Each structure stands twice: as C-alpha cells, then as structure tokens.
Structure 1
Amino acid sequence: MSDEELLTALANTGHEGADEMADPAALASWWAGLRGPVGGTASSETTRAALRDLRRAVREAAARHNGADGPRDGPEVPIGDARGPVAGLALRPDLSGGRVSLVPQGDGDLAADVAAVVLVALLRASAGPAWSRVKACRGADCGWVFVDASRNRSRRWCEMASCGNRAKTATFRARHRDERRPAAARPRRGDGTGRLGTGRQPAPRAT
C-alpha cells in the first residue's frame, strides 16, 4: 500500500456518520483490515484523538487539492497546534530496517502505533509529486477521499456514475430553470413629463 493509499484509507474512516476510531475495537478491526502491523489492540482516547486530528488534516488537504478552500498545492499540512493531541504523542525515530520510521516510546497502544505509521506516510507523501492527487469528492454531502489517477489530474468526483452524474444533473436543471424564467417587463418610454406613457407625442392644443 502506498503512502497516498494509506492516507485516503485513514481519511475515509469517518465518512457518513460512521467512525472507525470510535473505540479500541473499531480501530483494531479497521487496522487489521489494512493488514497493518499490530503491537497491541488497546488504545487510549488521547491517542485516538491524535489519529482523528491526523485524519482531519488529510481531509482538509484533500479538499484543497480538489479546488475547495485554500491553495491547490499548499506545502503545509495542519495537524493541530502544539497543545493538540498529535503533539502529545511520544514518538522516537527508528533507523532499523534500512529506512527511517517513527515508533511509540511506549508499548501496547494501537492508536499510537497507527499514528506513527501515518505521520511518516504524511511526511513522505506531502513532500512528493503525488500529494496533490489525494482529493476529496466535490459531490454534495460526499467528501469521499480518493487518489486521482487521471493523466491530467482532472478527476473531481469519487464516482462519475453517482456524484458526478448528480452534479451534472443539478447544473443542467439550474441552467434550464434560468432559461425558462420570463424576462422582466420593460418600462414604457416616458412622455417627457416624467410620467410613463405610450411613447406617442401629445396632441397639439386647440387655439
């Protein structure tokens, strides 16, 4: 799984009211589905809050990449202030295995393990050329995060058959509704006295 794919999977754990980080069991089930390394299954509310902060950061960046608020390719990825949950994670660098990674200083907290993996993926992805391909669907009330694999990076919706068609239908209806709207009645030309008239010259007075 690429860094971008991991980040999209994280971003979509809180879609349509569901939250796969709501409790330790839900988080463990989601992480097992990704075949992620497991050092424990328990997790504290604090470390899950850090993961939710990271999730929110990815979703906000994905929205910007698809033309929502903010620059399309901003180098900064907000992950909360220095007092936030992410800053409270106790992580240390690990140089084993031939590549740099982060590992929690403690053992047995799954959310901390996942956050360490996500942070490394986020740092690598945000510095790479494919980061702007991580996008959030522009469909109304959707926001599903995906990796845009199109050649010209022009994909806007998670699925053309659903969100794309709904957006195009809404645009079509709005355009035709405007075309059917009657033009405003035009005022009649004045008669030179400040009153609206028929535009005809007044008849001469008899002498």
Structure 2
Amino acid sequence: MSERSPAPGGLGLVETLVNTLDLETGADSLDTEEGRAPPGLTEDDVPAARELRESLRATLLAHAGHPPHRAVTPLGELLAAAPLVVAVDPADGSAALAPAGEGSLTARVAAAVAQALVAGTWSRLKACEAADCHWAYYDRSPAGRGRWCSMQVCGARAKMRRYRAKES
C-alpha cells in the first residue's frame, strides 16, 4: 500500500476504486456498505464495480509495462457504455466530458479518464509491479518510470529479493 499523495483530479476516483482490494490480505472494501468506495455504491452496483476495478487494474499494469495478472473485460468495452455529455461552463466557456444524469460509476470513471487524457496524466496512473500488491499509485517521478507504490515496502522487498538471488 502506498504512502504517496493521491492522484490529481478525477484520477483520484480511479485510484480509490482500484485500491478497494488489498491483494496481500484479500480484504475487499466493496464487501461492506461502510467500506464501499467510492461512496454511493449500492450492493447491486458491486459486481459491476469489481469488473471495472479489475479492468482498470489491468490497464494500470499496462501503464507500468506489465501484463495483466488475469483475463479481464477490456476497459474500452466497459467505458464505451458510459453515458457522457459535453458540459460547457457558461461563465468561462470551458468544456469537459461529464457523466450524463446522476452519473453511474462507469460514467464517472470514463469522464475522469477523458479529463486525464486531456491533461496528459492518464499514463502516470499505474499499478505497483509487486505481484502481491498491484496497488494503484500516481507516478510523480520526473521521468515517469516509477515501478512500485512504495519504495520503502514493495521496492525494498524487490531489491532484497534480487540481492538474495545474486548471493545464492
């Protein structure tokens, strides 16, 4: 799990959703009403939220240069069904894609991805390289080559494994 600051803008929603499952312990905050994140998910929304979460995780692993850990529905297929509208601010004329109506979780994620694409930040949201982690984090490194959610935990473990492998 990361000690990093949250992802900027709408990517915080994506990061929060992906991080509802702790792969190391198996704890899934979508299992309980009080633990559900993002807020507003009902019990009926949970299966779709899990499918979306794992498709997002696979995409974030790809951002970090890693294959998905299992087969999932492609993220593009899930987001294609998201009802979005172009919202124009009457005060300054700025425009952005926004969820239509009340905004389903999928539509809110699609809007966040669109916003991040325009801002050039989408590919900086990644999943940790550690197989027992895959925690979502926003890569703030200058070169955009971060590999772990936490250098102190996942990065240190990986470096120690490599060191021990050399010693054997």
So what's the TM-score if we normalise by structure 2?
0.71
Structure index of larger Rg? 1
When residues 54 and 122 of structure 1 are mapped into structure 2, their CA distance, relative to the original with a 3 A threshold, is farther
Residue in structure 1 matched with residue 66 of structure 2 by the alignment: 68
Residue 23 of structure 1, CA deviation? 4.9
Residue 67 of structure 1, CA deviation? 1.7
Residue 22 of structure 1, CA deviation? 2.7
Amino acid in structure 2 at the alignment position of 1:43: T
Residue in structure 2 matched with residue 95 of structure 1 by the alignment: 87
Residue 18 in structure 1 maps to residue 27 in structure 2: yes
2:79, 2:107 within 8 Å by CA — same for their partners in 1? no
CA–CA separation in structure 1 for the residues paired with 2:125 and 2:54: 14
1:53, 1:80 within 8 Å by CA — same for their partners in 2? no
1:144, 1:158 within 8 Å by CA — same for their partners in 2? yes
CA–CA separation in structure 2 for the residues paired with 1:4 and 1:67: 19
1:12, 1:144 within 8 Å by CA — same for their partners in 2? yes
User: 5+ unaligned residues in a row in structure 2: which ranges?
Assistant: 1-7, 91-95
Amino acid in structure 1 at the alignment position of 2:74: P
Amino acid in structure 2 at the alignment position of 1:131: W
CA–CA separation in structure 2 for the residues paired with 1:18 and 1:93: 35
Q: Secondary structure at the match of 2:137?
A: strand
Higher relative contact order (CA 8 A, sep 6+): 2
Matches within 5 A, 1:52-131: 52-69=50-67, 78-79=74-75, 81=77, 87=81, 91=83, 93=85, 95=87, 97=89, 99-104=96-101, 113-126=104-117, 128-131=119-122
Q: Secondary structure at the match of 2:126?
A: strand
Matches within 5 A, 1:170-185: 170-177=161-168
User: 5+ unaligned residues in a row in structure 1: which ranges?
Assistant: 33-40, 71-76, 178-207
Residue in structure 2 matched with residue 43 of structure 1 by the alignment: 42
When residues 42 and 127 of structure 1 are mapped into structure 2, their CA distance, relative to the original with a 3 A threshold, is closer
Amino acid in structure 2 at the alignment position of 1:54: L
Identity of aligned residues (%): 29
CA–CA separation in structure 1 for the residues paired with 2:79 and 2:28: 18
Q: Secondary structure at the match of 1:93?
A: strand
So what's the TM-score if we normalise by structure 1?
0.60
Residue 59 of structure 1, CA deviation? 0.6
Residue in structure 2 matched with residue 5 of structure 1 by the alignment: 12
Residue 5 of structure 1, CA deviation? 2.2
Write out per-residue CA displacement over residues 19-53 of structure 1, whole angstroms, 9 at most, x where no aligned residue. Answer: 232354433xx334xxxxxxxx57252x3332222
Q: Secondary structure at the match of 1:151?
A: coil
Residue in structure 1 matched with residue 93 of structure 2 by the alignment: none
Residue in structure 2 matched with residue 137 of structure 1 by the alignment: 128
